[in-house]
Amino acid sequence: MFTTRSSTSKALSDFERIVLPGLTNFPAKVKWGAVSLADLVRLTRDLIESTCEEGASRIPDPVRDFIEEISFAEPEDILSALRDVLAEDWMAMPVWARNLAYRLACLQRPDDPELLREAAADLLSFGPDWDDFAEDLKARGVQLRN
C-alpha cells in the first residue's frame, strides 16, 4: 500500500506521539551499528519523504521487490543468489544491496565462521566506511573457529 504525503505526515506524527515518548529512557546516542537512534529516526523520515509522492512510490519496482524478497529469504537462498550474481559481474550489484544481503544472512547464521569471513571480505572491498565492521566479523569468525 502506498501512502499519500498527508497520510505520511500523519504516520510521522503518530510515530512521534506514540513511539518516541517510549524512547525517552534511552541515552541520546544509542548506537545501532554506526548510527545513533536520533540519526536513524531522521534517516527514516528522510526515506519516507523521499520515496512517497502524492500516492505513488518513487522506489523502482526492482529495488522494492529485491528488498521485500530478501527481507524474508532463507540465508542459503541469499548466499546462493549473491554468489551467482557476483560470479557473473562482481561489481554490478549495488554496495547497499550487497551489504543488506550479507547482513541479513549473518543475522540468521551468526555462528557461521565461513559466512562471517565472506561478509567481512565483501565489506573490505568497499571500505573504508565498513572496515571496523569487517574486522569485527573477521574476529568473530576466528573466535568461532577456536
DSSP letters for 62-101: HHHHHHHHHHT--HHHHHHHHHHHHHH-TTTS-HHHHHHH
Does residue 5 carry a pLDDT above 60? Answer: no
Query: With 50 as the cut, is the pLDDT of residue 27 above it?
Result: no
pTM of the model: 0.71
pLDDT confidence tier of residue 48, bands split at 50, 70 and 90: confident
pLDDT above 70 as % of the chain? 75
